[in-house]
A and B are shown apart, each in its own frame.
Chain A
């Protein structure tokens, strides 16, 4: 909302500067987004101090001066004014400045002497019309200070105020003035609307009322849809002369960036911007049968609006019509065929109450946001429309002449506002400290509330008609706080009780896996979760991009696209991970949601070094080991197993026997120079999305307990005796896995076995196809004595025969 400081002052006469008013409103009511002097044309002019002054040798009226403009260098300036004196400050235009009249000040020579700028007169700055030489300034401001800061409020200023969606009452100058009046304690005034004679004539005009229709002065108004249009007031003015508006009206409108059109349209805009009531003027003679009917449109009806666009309206949409056809889009825009023109003599003013929801529907249907629809949608002051109608009629009679011949008021006035009970004890409880009841009363009365005391120390408060946002006790408490100011609240940390909610286990898991993967050299990513892959079955109704309308079902799918993005930029070392949500098909209303971690490895295992200038690339084994350690970190204490898969992923990841994820080769759109990509995806847990409890109900038993406890590590005595062991080079037939072999080795090695690991794998020419040789190293240790070779040999033969018997595994010769 653009507010003119002068216009605002008209409704709330105060002595504050535009800056002070902006700060006041910013602290108590709205956000100040900007403040601009309407004299920004002189913004580049600064304070200049004449340090030296001497007559020009080749002229009898010019002076040569040295001017301090705050830049640190004294400037030579030739000046023609008789009143220039050393030691005096003047407005100074540096070379390069454009003056209000468009003149560009340039460095130039005047009778042989260089002049770097111009000392200015009041007339050159368009501050006055007198020409008494240059303008001597009495100011303490340093040279170089912008002149706008020195001269105070010069002319009008524009305040750009961001009005909150619950405060439509502030969408007018008078509305904003009400806040200023309440905050500063100044009375409200009527600004430019106090032309008593015109007001009286408007009030005295013949009036007729009707529940759904009325006729007077040959004009009929009828409402067929009182839900959309509860009240329609029409004012008839005859014998007007349409012409330009006077200077003061043009200044008002231009000060808020609005264009003056003619005296009638300007008057309606004045009422809109001044009082917040949209008003539309029809040319009465262009309304068929001088009739207004608010009725649902019929099939095929169209309307050419003021902007020249032909609008086709869905049949059944309530429109403002004359006896024959639609003439206005209710609450949004008038029609071109009935608009006021230079030759109009009789007009009908529409001052209507429309339902916010109805106007919103019409506005959305036509996609046309106007000043009127903006206000109607948020809610105008329904009770104030008769007053606005009178003011508008009086203003038009004043500006365009004519007689107000009839007022038709059809429909019902809004219901009186309900009173709200306010307990001062509740104010103290919510605001943290008590507020004296007389102060509460005074603050609310200043806002236009009527306040009476009730028997039980409570206040009975009736909010004013324009404050439709104030409905509950807590709304009144907000008003008290807002008007007193947030500064009045103590900044004091008070004692608190610890909460009953534990950290969400998935948050803790996320932190653990993140630390682990960052420690392993991976970068955390936060990409968009949208995809073209339809696995999730969750398609957005209104996606932003039609090529990615689905929610993802896999994090690796997202990471693969990010890897391709990097490959396209010639980056081949890509180590990415993400912890995020995926969405899976479900029989419930909402998709099944899981929190997962995904990691992708592609490129060199380590940075090149002079000892290893071309490191090898990540392979499946790197991904497997990372998956194993990651799973242990994600599920502390769980037994982790990676199960090789015959098809699809390379390994399935199990934790305590439950499948939690997989390791796989990631297929990418990959240039020839890039290495293969491997990925890991683990489900950390499900994120339930069922309703916790029915609406309005509390179900504390549904609360989560803390994380499950993890078994502590039990200390094993550090060995003092030496270890002993042997290697087994085994030939594994096709289909026998290393995991199966290891199971037998562990089972039959006895309790002295300390470790088992694979140290070699061979496939090739010297073995039949599908058969491989795998080397194992087994290490044993007795806690109290050295193991003898004989004991080891016994174990070896036992293992070899068991392997041969159970798996067909033989010792390699």
Chain B
């Protein structure tokens, strides 16, 4: 006869991904910083070297509260707040909810989790960016995964890049390059805006979307499963 069981709880699959990412970066000396979700335009765009009225902002279709306050479109405002409030060396991770004006459908959500990282000190270079993020990618996927960088553009970094990992996602399509994060050297304008001497200090930043990873690792056909809070979905992650 069966034993007497108790209810078993579950961590949300997106939280589980964030925990795994954080655990790896913790070993590399990073701590967790948080900030508000309702922000000013300056913290979300101005301080991050977004040119006013530029097509680059269209990728960040924004939910506004007032003409100059909004729901943050990335967790980068936490980077700015941390740069203003702390003296380097800074090695932080910023997980948090962000918002975009995307319709809620199978592949988009207007609110989703992001995790960003920031490393600032004297003498930090692109070698540190590449080595740290490659190390992360190999630990997160598997030690034998190949990693590559491609040029990209985000107003708050220069040079900017995207990182791909060659992985088999188990979908029958075999090994292929999958984009996992955006990154780059922090733009001197961003450091200057936070009152940090960009001649003395340099650093790098990255950002990634844990929901995409959760969807691919659990083979979720619809992103809405992550939000609906259907107990028949959540109980599958009970441990």
* Chains A and B form a bound pair: yes
A576 at the interface (CB under 8 A from B): yes
Residue contact A698 to B127, C-beta cutoff 8 Å: no
Closest to B148 in A: A486
B215 at the interface (CB under 8 A from A): no
- Contact partner of B127 (CB less than 8 A), chosen from A357, A432, A704, is A432
Closest to A605 in B: B7
Residues on the B chain within 8 Å of A529, using CB = 97, 111
* Bound Cα distance A245, B195 (Å): 60
Q: In B5-23, which residues have CB < 8 Å from any A CB?
A: 5-12, 14-15
Q: How far is the CB of A512 from chain B (nearest CB, A)?
A: 13
Residues on the B chain within 8 Å of A496, using CB = 29, 89, 91, 119, 121, 124, 128
B135 at the interface (CB under 8 A from A): yes
User: Could you tell me the dominant secondary structure of chain B's interface residues?
Assistant: mixed
Give the size of the chain B interface in residues (CB under 8 angstroms).
Answer: 108
Given contacts A540-B64, A542-B63, A697-B195, contact A524 B110 (CB under 8 A): no
Residue contact B159 to A692, C-beta cutoff 8 Å: no
A244 at the interface (CB under 8 A from B): no
B212 at the interface (CB under 8 A from A): no
Residues on the B chain within 8 Å of A475, using CB = 158
Given contacts A164-B151, A702-B84, contact A607 B7 (CB under 8 A): yes
- Contact partner of B31 (CB less than 8 A), chosen from A433, A503, A527, is A503
- Contact partner of A523 (CB less than 8 A), chosen from B10, B104, B130, B151, is B10
1/0 contact string of B82-94 vs chain A (CB within 8 Å): 1111111111100
Closest to B192 in A: A696
Residue contact A526 to B6, C-beta cutoff 8 Å: no
Residues on the A chain within 8 Å of B235, using CB = 523
Given contacts A523-B235, A692-B81, contact A606 B6 (CB under 8 A): yes
Residues on the A chain within 8 Å of B81, using CB = 692
Residue contact B149 to A486, C-beta cutoff 8 Å: yes
Residues on the A chain within 8 Å of B221, using CB = none
A367 at the interface (CB under 8 A from B): no
Residues on the B chain within 8 Å of A285, using CB = none
Closest to A469 in B: B153
Residue contact A524 to B29, C-beta cutoff 8 Å: no
Residue contact B84 to A698, C-beta cutoff 8 Å: yes
- Contact partner of B29 (CB less than 8 A), chosen from A492, A498, A507, is A498
A28 at the interface (CB under 8 A from B): yes
Q: How far is the CB of B171 from chain A (nearest CB, A)?
A: 19
Residues on the A chain within 8 Å of B113, using CB = 526
A15 at the interface (CB under 8 A from B): no
Residue contact A702 to B85, C-beta cutoff 8 Å: yes
Name, among B32, B193, B229, the residue most crowded by chain A CB atoms within 10 Å (CB to CB). B229
Q: How far is the CB of A543 from chain B (nearest CB, A)?
A: 7
Closest to B104 in A: A544
A43-51, A208-216, A586-594, A755-763: which lies at the B interface? A586-594
Q: How far is the CB of A446 from chain B (nearest CB, A)?
A: 16
1/0 contact string of B120-146 vs chain A (CB within 8 Å): 010111111011101100000000000
Residues on the A chain within 8 Å of B68, using CB = 589
B39 at the interface (CB under 8 A from A): yes
Residues on the B chain within 8 Å of A525, using CB = 12, 229, 234
Q: How far is the CB of B139 from chain A (nearest CB, A)?
A: 12
Residues on the A chain within 8 Å of B2, using CB = 609-610
Given contacts A506-B34, A526-B113, A698-B195, contact A499 B90 (CB under 8 A): yes
A6-14, A55-63, A138-146, A683-691: which lies at the B interface? A683-691
Residue contact A589 to B42, C-beta cutoff 8 Å: no
Residue contact A689 to B36, C-beta cutoff 8 Å: yes
Residue contact A593 to B36, C-beta cutoff 8 Å: yes
Name, among A528, A529, A697, the residue most crowded by chain B CB atoms within 10 Å (CB to CB). A528
* Bound Cα distance A364, B150 (Å): 32
Residue contact B31 to A526, C-beta cutoff 8 Å: no
Q: How far is the CB of B109 from chain A (nearest CB, A)?
A: 8
B56 at the interface (CB under 8 A from A): yes
* Bound Cα distance A693, B68 (Å): 18
Residue contact A541 to B97, C-beta cutoff 8 Å: no
Residues on the B chain within 8 Å of A478, using CB = 158-160
Residues on the B chain within 8 Å of A589, using CB = 40, 66, 68-69
Given contacts A521-B9, A526-B12, A581-B97, contact A500 B86 (CB under 8 A): yes
* Bound Cα distance A482, B12 (Å): 39
- Contact partner of B88 (CB less than 8 A), chosen from A481, A500, A543, A574, is A500
Chain A residues at the B interface, C-beta cutoff of 8 Å: 26-31, 164-167, 357, 360, 377-378, 429-433, 472, 474-475, 477-478, 481-482, 486-487, 489-494, 496-504, 506-507, 514, 517-530, 538-545, 551, 559, 562, 565-566, 569, 571, 573-576, 580-581, 583, 589-591, 593, 595, 606-607, 609-612, 687-689, 691-693, 695-700, 702-704
Known: A501-B91, A551-B38, A691-B43. 6 other contacts (CB 8 A): A26-B150, A477-B158, A491-B134, A521-B6, A526-B12, A692-B85
A sample of 11 cross-chain residue pairs with beta-carbon separation below 8 angstroms, ordered by A number, consists of A27-B148, A481-B126, A482-B151, A492-B127, A500-B90, A501-B33, A518-B10, A523-B9, A524-B10, A687-B34, A703-B85
